[in-house]
Amino acid sequence: MESERQAPEGFDARQFALYREASPTAKLAAVARLNAVLIGLKQAQLAAEHPAWTVEEQRATLRQWWFGARD
């Protein structure tokens, strides 16, 4: 039965069970939160690596990175 599937190696069994039981809306919300964290981390990296860049230059690079998914 699908709901009895074991967590893959390296995954916390409780988290795996919670994710499997979550509604599609809850799963989408989790992905949106993770994306927001990822974007924030990349923005911080760009700001640290290129302090002279304007906010618009940072945003443009972030968009290129996000849509290109090369990093």
Tokens matching residue 52: 């002279």
Residue 15 placed within a domain: no
| Domain presence at residue 50 | yes
What pLDDT does 5 receive?
75
Confidence at residue 27, expressed as pLDDT on a 0 to 100 scale:
93
Structural domain count, the chain: 1
Structural domain that includes position 58: 24-71
Q: In this predicted structure, what is the pLDDT of residue 1? A: 42
- Give the separation between CA 13 and CA 31, rounded to whole angstroms: 19
Determine contact, residues 42/62, Cβ cutoff 8 Å.
yes
Residue 3 in any domain: the answer is no
Model confidence, pTM: 0.68
Any domain includes 13: no
Could you write out the DSSP letters of every residue in 20-63? Answer: HHS-HHHHHHHHHHHHHHHHHHHHHHHHHH-TTS-HHHHHHHHH
> Is 16 part of a structural domain of the chain?
no
10 vs 66: CA distance, rounded Å: 27
Does 47 fall in a domain? yes
Tens-place pLDDT, residues 1-32: 455 678 788 888 898 888 889 999 999 999 99
- Over residues 39-63, mean pLDDT: 94
